[in-house]
Structure 1
Amino acid sequence: MAEYKLEMTTGDMPYAGTSDYVYVTLFGTEGKSERTLMDNYGIDFQRGATGSYTVKTSFSLGKLLLVKVEKVQYLYLPEDEWYFSKMVVTTPEGDVILYPCYRWIGRGEPVELRGGRAMKAFEDNHPLLIDHRKKELMLKRNFYQWKIMDEGLSHINSFNDVSELPAEIRFSDSRAADILYSKAKTGIELKVKGLYGSTAQWETIEDIKKIFWYKKTTMSEYVAEHWTEDDFYGYQFLNGVNPGVIKRCSELPTNFPVTEEMVKPFLEEGSSLQKEMEKGNMFLYDQKKMDGIPPRVYNSEPLHVTAGLCLFYSNWENKLMPIAIQLNQQPSEKNPIFLPSDPETDWLLAKMFIKNADCMDHESVHHLVRTHFLAEVFAVAALRRFPAIHPFYKLLFPHFRHTLHINTRARVSLLGPDGALSKSSLGFDGLLEVMRRAVSEMTYSSLCLPEKIAAQGLESIPNFYYRDDGLKLWNIINSFVKAVVEHYYPSDSEVHKDTELQEWISEIFTRGFLGNKDLGIPAAFYSVEEVVKFTTMVIFTTTVQHAAVNSGQYDFLAWAPNGTLLLRKPPPTTKGQSSMKTVLETLPDVGDTVSFAALTWLLSDRYTDYIPLGRYPDERFDEPEPKQMIKEFQAELSYLSEAIKARNSHLELPYTYLDPVEIENSVSI
């Protein structure tokens, strides 16, 4: 007689437990056990509980291969799904094997689990395991399918509604309720105040401060007080919600005829534009990718979108200052170059139109295309190509948690007919074109922060905290990924042989980057080094980069004058004709302003089930080596978090968005 000791853990979340019968069958190289009811005295499988059970066999099953778990109706009780976390089996020979599940199981749904060391396809040598792996992947590919959202864009998952998603990748009931409550509370406040849906124009700038009673942050309050200041305007292009979009300017574009005479008053005394460019102190923001895109029609008239250029100067006080703005690509008498010495509201309007284009670029490209949609590509390819036992599934799944849910929902809430992006100056069709252009230009090096910073000449610009924190996080993630990948792939030949890994990168290349070889994205992996770099980029994109462009949305964009998706009036074409009345007429009406502000709160808030970067509550790895690597990864993140907090304590404007404890472990909102 042989005895197998089982410890079975139920998830610690609402409704995770079950009253149904649970049966287990063990499969080994020498045979299988009887189908055994897991039944102790009292109530089994309560929320958060771990129960101990025994499966007896008349002989040793040899090496354990699979565990089959079945949930069967108890009496006439209604269906209740069970969240089964994991099982740990101790064999008669003394082996202790982890069988991770971490999914909801329905009645009559048999689940077969593999345990032990993470295994690549070519390492499986038992017919039962080979067949199990083949069937699992076939089911996954049938379930997770691709769909084309629009020509020229990365492909998306085929689900039309979040209710079609498996429960383990949907929002939990508590998170969904949390978000609904936040949305409802915000909506009620705006309706009570008579702001929601109002087509009235703002009468004064101060009135905009009254949108919310309690939804205020230290930074949102700062923005409302300092939004007109040039040094704060420049600061935002380094550390705001869309950081790092400028590049060092060593030569002015021919279509931006800024002269020495124009900008000399704003440069260091005795210096010149040429000298400052040679010293690396001049930077350019260029929105040429928006040029020629028809804007949205608003009140029977087309809106105005400026594909502008802004010249910045990193001055002797280490402040980044805007010193020249041209609002359209081609210079002309009706497209003057605006300067800080121009009438106050002319200069203010010029900055507002640059920020309007930047807001649309931020939301559609840097937020959606380059984090949300990329994360979805990485996730769907992984779900289709990696079985649960694969080391890359274990490594990457925590970084895809909830991504399919939030993206499926966002395509309605952001891009639907009533969505915020559809109400922008470019509208749905215009932003689709911006996104198409972005996908066609999205190079591999631009997704890898060290290369991106170097390519844009931003290595030494001062007070660039996004760069400083981001590069440290890139290196920490890279070290962790390198340790894990090299543990499972000790040589390049291991990479060559892993067909599942090759199919994953192939799907990403064809579905995410549309097979465009010019972008530098690998279509296949040939070395361990390539795998480490690409995987670092995947984890960085789905965690760090998303936090950088998402978490500060309320802080910087709730105050509409500082940045908004919609401006109603055309940009100034001559100087000296504007006033504060012009500024108020240019801003969105009351209803659109509060709608945008409410959205930024919803996107920036923290919800139930938040998991910070590097925390892996689901135990998926069974071997001690990757478990130790995770501990070391967490320790490095903790050290960085302490260093960032120490630095921030001395800053007037703390940069908190890339503090590891503030970075969610996946694109989840």
Structure 2
Amino acid sequence: MFKGNTSKVHQVKGTVVLMSKNALDFNKDGATAIFSPDFSIKLISSNRVDGHKNGKVGKETSRDKNQPASSLPTLGEGKTAFNISFKLDESFGIPGAFYIKNLKQPEFFLVTLTLDIPDHGTIHFVCNSWVYKAQKDRIFFANKTYLPDTTPTAFKKYREDELKSLRGEGKEKGKRQEHERIYDYDVYNDLGNPDKSDDLARPVLGDSSAYPYPRRGRTGRDKTKKDPKSETPASGDTYIPRDEKIGHLKSSDFLTNGIKSLAQNVLPQFQSAIALDPEFDNFNDVRGLFKDGLPLLTDAIRTISQTPVIKEIFQIDGEKVKFPPPHVIQNGESWMTDEEFGREMLAGVHPCRIQRLQEFPPTSKLDASVYGDQTSKITKKNLQINLGKLTVEKALKDNRLFILDYHDAFLPFLRKINGLPNTKCYATRTILFLKDDGTLKPLAIELSLPHAEGDRCGANSRVILPAHQGAERTIWQLSKAYVVVNDSCYHQLVSHWLNTHAIMEPFVIATNRHLSVLHPIHKLLSPHYRDTMNVNGVARQSLINAGGLIEQSFLPGKYALEMSSAAYKNWVFTDQALPEDLVKRGMAVKDSSNLLQLVIKDYPYAVDGLKIWSAILNWVTKYVSFYYSDRVGEDRELESWWKEVVKEGHGDLKDKPWWPTKLNTRQNLIHICSTIIWIASAQHAAVNFGQYPYGDHILNRPTLTRRLIPDPGTKEYNELSTNHEKAYLKTITKKHEALVNLSVIAILSRHASDEVYLGQRDNPNWTDDEKVLKAFKHFGGELKKIENEILERNNNSSLRNRVKMPYTVLLPTSEEGLTFRGIPNSISI
């Protein structure tokens, strides 16, 4: 390390970058408070060992208190730099890790340590971790990467000890404390609150054949008095390992504060304002939320004006609150058209559910011994009416018939759902035809209810065909609304919450328990986990909990999470990769050269998504190939990681044959990591950031229906032809639920100013491997090319499914706010 006399002591200069618990602390005079932490650091050698063959530990050194702290613009908001110097000689070797002790403040956020080593160069430590006074000395490693069997002798024990601390070995019991960094598993047993009300009791999800579910992070709170299997809901912040709440991540702060503000301050004011007028009178009344605003009392305006979420999202105009106009409203009444109904299945907020029809009539996978024959009642004659000279057989053969099928997902729950106050719905099947211009035309909608004589008698179904006059026109419009409600609920509860948020949490936990920060796969995946556990904790507390905002505004109500549990039974990890998903749904086929060909060429989600998938796959292939020739099976950390993901994190599905049983090939590892990154980044973006542009126009995307189609001869039936707007509004989401939904998805669809997008890292020194950095830069360049290609496609007037509303959610980058674009690295909101 040092040249010259080896006995000579040399000075090594360092810079420590920290943030306080609140980087925006203010003193009583309104000035920024002085951040003056007291800490000590001991360097650890990477190539010199002590008598126990562990890296030599240097003397404890405190920061230079005679040199003022600096807060430079280049450091970023709230970050402060402190100088520190160490005295080392040749016998110490090269520092590669360090211990840090917090001596003063309850906690601070350690961002980085940078060392300038004479005759060696700069060593970077990227830390991004909370350091508590209550903790023992914390260890951090330099930005180098080692497989377990290539770890320097000096680091082997430190590496193993750090993983043990993250697993909480010896601390398996008891309530988790804020300063702890323990990753462990638990079931979803904290959604209900039976001690408060019997109506708020909910079944435990997970560890059960009846209600299988992915695992969440363990918090260890006390059990409820009425149900020893359930955990008491969090009264304040939900415990998550402290480093999962990244320092001042604004999307996290906005979500947490925004949801709480909505529940406590905003929505009660909205409810009071509409108490005497709970129904929309006509379509203009709905549009008025965006154009004219919601009138509120002066006191209410004063209350919500002091609420941060309002300032960020809504506009206060005098004594009215205006909501940002959703994009779909700009096209006037086009939401009512059959063309838009079909287009949104390919390019809307939920474009990953439609399937190619491969058998006719459609059949059911429900257990016939329980539900009887659930085969569709749609006939060829029903379809032939709108097929012209083309036969059903020919349309099937030519891959021109498609289906949006929610029959099996909803029928088993309809007796419960339709027994709730003010909710009535059908299980739906919709068959569509692919026109020559690449758009989809609905041919028939099947509406099904449980049979009056019992489930084993099959379903009571009726088939609705397109109509353009009188009561039949309104019935057709209502039928499309029942389909959209099925789609809205499945989207939010399954495709969004379950298939991205919930299934990702076990991967986060297992990675931190078994892959060291020195491991290349930890460095690859960790950016794609950022803040996910924190967001999920907020969701369990305010969104998906009993009586929470999702139960308030979506059709299944108290049965919402039960429905997602039923869907989890059919979840397959390997099918989450986009190419496999498209093939399984029949939306793509492989040609003679084994290349993927889309059945619908103008399928924006698939066209743009396959480009993003390919870029991710290429990046992961290069990255993994840098570290593995093909001895993947010899990596003991990797083996433990994958075993625990399957056996513990997704333990209710552990016996499914589709799991890759072992990570014994490089190709398996590449595909698994690519799938994880795809889910956390692009797939979540595709089902999340389009919510406001489409979903906040409640006429276009209702979240519940309150009545079935009226019977002929009734007053309500006559209204279908005399006042179709009133009939439609009496059926779909009313004002309160609409305002809840509108407010929630305005938060969920928003980007924070400090978001980190796919192809970016929050620190350029995340690794010291120049080959890896070069490959990552190339990955970013590929994404930029893809972004330009998407923009070009959106300007191509021949692509009818992009004309009225460009498909932008898979554009990799975004600015802050409600932008309807951008792929964050992780599920951070």
TM-score using structure 1 length = 0.91
Question: What is the DSSP-based 3-state SS (H/G/I as helix, E as strand, rest coil) of the residue aligned with 1:42?
Answer: coil
CA distance in 1, matches of 2:679, 2:530: 14
**Partner of 1:280 in structure 2?**
399
**Partner of 1:615 in structure 2?**
760
Deviation at 1:154, TM superposition (A): 0.8
Question: What is the DSSP-based 3-state SS (H/G/I as helix, E as strand, rest coil) of the residue aligned with 2:376?
Answer: coil
CA distance in 1, matches of 2:575, 2:560: 21
Greater Cα offset, 113-122 or 322-331: 322-331
**Partner of 2:492 in structure 1?**
363
Deviation at 1:604, TM superposition (A): 0.8
Question: What is the DSSP-based 3-state SS (H/G/I as helix, E as strand, rest coil) of the residue aligned with 1:627?
Answer: helix
2:117 maps to 1:70: no
Q: CA offsets per residue over residues 528-549 of structure 1, 9 Å max, x none?
A: 0000000000000001000011
**Partner of 1:170 in structure 2?**
245
Deviation at 1:478, TM superposition (A): 0.6
**Partner of 1:667 in structure 2?**
827
**Partner of 2:282 in structure 1?**
204
Match for 1:376 among 505, 516, 525?
505
Structure 2: unaligned runs, 5 residues or longer? 1-7, 25-33, 50-55, 72-77, 169-181, 189-204, 207-211, 220-233, 294-321, 364-374, 452-457, 588-597, 797-802, 814-821
Letter in 2 for 1:139: S
Question: What is the DSSP-based 3-state SS (H/G/I as helix, E as strand, rest coil) of the residue aligned with 2:412?
Answer: coil
Q: CA offsets per residue over residues 178-233 of structure 1, 9 Å max, x none?
A: 44675658964983695566772222122111224443346232466322100000
Against the structure 1 CA distance between its residues 294 and 266, is the aligned structure 2 distance closer, same or farther, given a 3 Å change threshold?
Answer: closer
2:771 maps to 1:625: yes
Against the structure 1 CA distance between its residues 596 and 292, is the aligned structure 2 distance closer, same or farther, given a 3 Å change threshold?
Answer: same
Contact between 1:557 and 1:563, CA under 8 Å: does it hold in 2? Answer: yes
**Partner of 2:745 in structure 1?**
600
2:346 maps to 1:271: no
Against the structure 1 CA distance between its residues 368 and 656, is the aligned structure 2 distance closer, same or farther, given a 3 Å change threshold?
Answer: same
**Partner of 2:113 in structure 1?**
87
Q: CA offsets per residue over residues 352-403 of structure 1, 9 Å max, x none?
A: 1111111111111100110001221211111211222111221111111110
Letter in 1 for 2:828: S
Contact between 1:117 and 1:622, CA under 8 Å: does it hold in 2? Answer: yes
Q: How does 1:491-510 map to 2 (within 5 A)?
A: 491=630, 493=631, 495-510=632-647
2:23 maps to 1:15: yes
Against the structure 1 CA distance between its residues 515 and 568, is the aligned structure 2 distance closer, same or farther, given a 3 Å change threshold?
Answer: closer
Match for 1:341 among 459, 467, 475?
467
**Partner of 2:606 in structure 1?**
467
CA distance in 1, matches of 2:651, 2:680: 17
Deviation at 1:316, TM superposition (A): 2.1
The sequence identity of aligned pairs, in percent, is 22
Letter in 2 for 1:42: Q
Contact between 2:620 and 2:673, CA under 8 Å: does it hold in 1? Answer: yes
Match for 1:653 among 800, 805, 808?
805
Match for 1:144 among 177, 180, 183?
183
Deviation at 1:602, TM superposition (A): 1.4
**Partner of 2:448 in structure 1?**
328
CA distance in 2, matches of 1:196, 1:624: 61
Q: CA offsets per residue over residues 145-177 of structure 1, 9 Å max, x none?
A: 111111311111113564533443226275455
Q: CA offsets per residue over residues 540-596 of structure 1, 9 Å max, x none?
A: 000100001110111111122222222111246779764423322212221111111
**Partner of 1:44 in structure 2?**
69
Contact between 2:404 and 2:429, CA under 8 Å: does it hold in 1? Answer: yes
CA distance in 2, matches of 1:433, 1:561: 27
CA distance in 2, matches of 1:531, 1:201: 54
Question: What is the DSSP-based 3-state SS (H/G/I as helix, E as strand, rest coil) of the residue aligned with 2:124?
Answer: strand
CA distance in 2, matches of 1:298, 1:270: 41
Deviation at 1:137, TM superposition (A): 1.0
Deviation at 1:310, TM superposition (A): 0.5
Deviation at 1:244, TM superposition (A): 2.4
Contact between 2:12 and 2:88, CA under 8 Å: does it hold in 1? Answer: no
Letter in 2 for 1:473: I
**Partner of 1:76 in structure 2?**
none
CA distance in 1, matches of 2:100, 2:333: 60
Against the structure 1 CA distance between its residues 226 and 118, is the aligned structure 2 distance closer, same or farther, given a 3 Å change threshold?
Answer: same
Greater Cα offset, 406-415 or 475-484: 406-415
Against the structure 1 CA distance between its residues 398 and 295, is the aligned structure 2 distance closer, same or farther, given a 3 Å change threshold?
Answer: farther
CA distance in 1, matches of 2:274, 2:110: 44
2:672 maps to 1:534: yes
Question: What is the DSSP-based 3-state SS (H/G/I as helix, E as strand, rest coil) of the residue aligned with 1:606?
Answer: coil
Question: What is the DSSP-based 3-state SS (H/G/I as helix, E as strand, rest coil) of the residue aligned with 2:99?
Answer: strand
CA distance in 2, matches of 1:559, 1:404: 30
2:425 maps to 1:305: yes
Question: What is the DSSP-based 3-state SS (H/G/I as helix, E as strand, rest coil) of the residue aligned with 1:60?
Answer: helix
Letter in 2 for 1:448: A
Question: What is the DSSP-based 3-state SS (H/G/I as helix, E as strand, rest coil) of the residue aligned with 2:728?
Answer: helix
Match for 2:148 among 104, 112, 121?
121
Q: CA offsets per residue over residues 230-259 of structure 1, 9 Å max, x none?
A: 000001111111112111113212522433
TM-align CA RMSD: 2.9
**Partner of 1:246 in structure 2?**
354
Deviation at 1:320, TM superposition (A): 0.6
CA distance in 2, matches of 1:285, 1:167: 42
CA distance in 1, matches of 2:37, 2:394: 77
Contact between 1:308 and 1:329, CA under 8 Å: does it hold in 2? Answer: no
- Paired residue total: 660
Question: What is the DSSP-based 3-state SS (H/G/I as helix, E as strand, rest coil) of the residue aligned with 2:511?
Answer: helix
Against the structure 1 CA distance between its residues 4 and 568, is the aligned structure 2 distance closer, same or farther, given a 3 Å change threshold?
Answer: farther
CA distance in 2, matches of 1:514, 1:299: 30
Question: What is the DSSP-based 3-state SS (H/G/I as helix, E as strand, rest coil) of the residue aligned with 1:461?
Answer: coil
Deviation at 1:423, TM superposition (A): 2.9
Letter in 1 for 2:85: T
**Partner of 2:780 in structure 1?**
634
Match for 2:686 among 531, 542, 548?
548
Contact between 2:23 and 2:79, CA under 8 Å: does it hold in 1? Answer: no
**Partner of 1:586 in structure 2?**
731
CA distance in 2, matches of 1:423, 1:224: 28
Greater Cα offset, 104-113 or 46-55: 46-55
Contact between 1:198 and 1:591, CA under 8 Å: does it hold in 2? Answer: no
CA distance in 2, matches of 1:53, 1:365: 51
Question: What is the DSSP-based 3-state SS (H/G/I as helix, E as strand, rest coil) of the residue aligned with 1:478?
Answer: helix
CA distance in 2, matches of 1:567, 1:309: 16
CA distance in 1, matches of 2:608, 2:522: 28
Question: What is the DSSP-based 3-state SS (H/G/I as helix, E as strand, rest coil) of the residue aligned with 1:418?
Answer: coil
Against the structure 1 CA distance between its residues 115 and 180, is the aligned structure 2 distance closer, same or farther, given a 3 Å change threshold?
Answer: closer
Contact between 1:65 and 1:115, CA under 8 Å: does it hold in 2? Answer: yes
Against the structure 1 CA distance between its residues 7 and 641, is the aligned structure 2 distance closer, same or farther, given a 3 Å change threshold?
Answer: farther
CA distance in 1, matches of 2:672, 2:608: 20
2:57 maps to 1:60: no
Letter in 1 for 2:384: K
Contact between 1:403 and 1:668, CA under 8 Å: does it hold in 2? Answer: yes
Against the structure 1 CA distance between its residues 311 and 385, is the aligned structure 2 distance closer, same or farther, given a 3 Å change threshold?
Answer: same
**Partner of 1:3 in structure 2?**
10
CA distance in 1, matches of 2:325, 2:807: 13
**Partner of 2:816 in structure 1?**
none
Q: CA offsets per residue over residues 75-130 of structure 1, 9 Å max, x none?
A: xxxx263322222334345154322211122336422122252112222352x522
Structure 1: unaligned runs, 5 residues or longer? 74-78
CA distance in 2, matches of 1:333, 1:286: 15
CA distance in 2, matches of 1:272, 1:445: 36
Greater Cα offset, 608-617 or 34-43: 34-43
Question: What is the DSSP-based 3-state SS (H/G/I as helix, E as strand, rest coil) of the residue aligned with 1:568?
Answer: coil
2:214 maps to 1:154: yes
CA distance in 1, matches of 2:413, 2:650: 24
Q: CA offsets per residue over residues 325-368 of structure 1, 9 Å max, x none?
A: 10127899962210113711110111111111111111111001
Question: What is the DSSP-based 3-state SS (H/G/I as helix, E as strand, rest coil) of the residue aligned with 1:328?
Answer: strand
Match for 2:615 among 462, 476, 483?
476
Against the structure 1 CA distance between its residues 218 and 39, is the aligned structure 2 distance closer, same or farther, given a 3 Å change threshold?
Answer: same
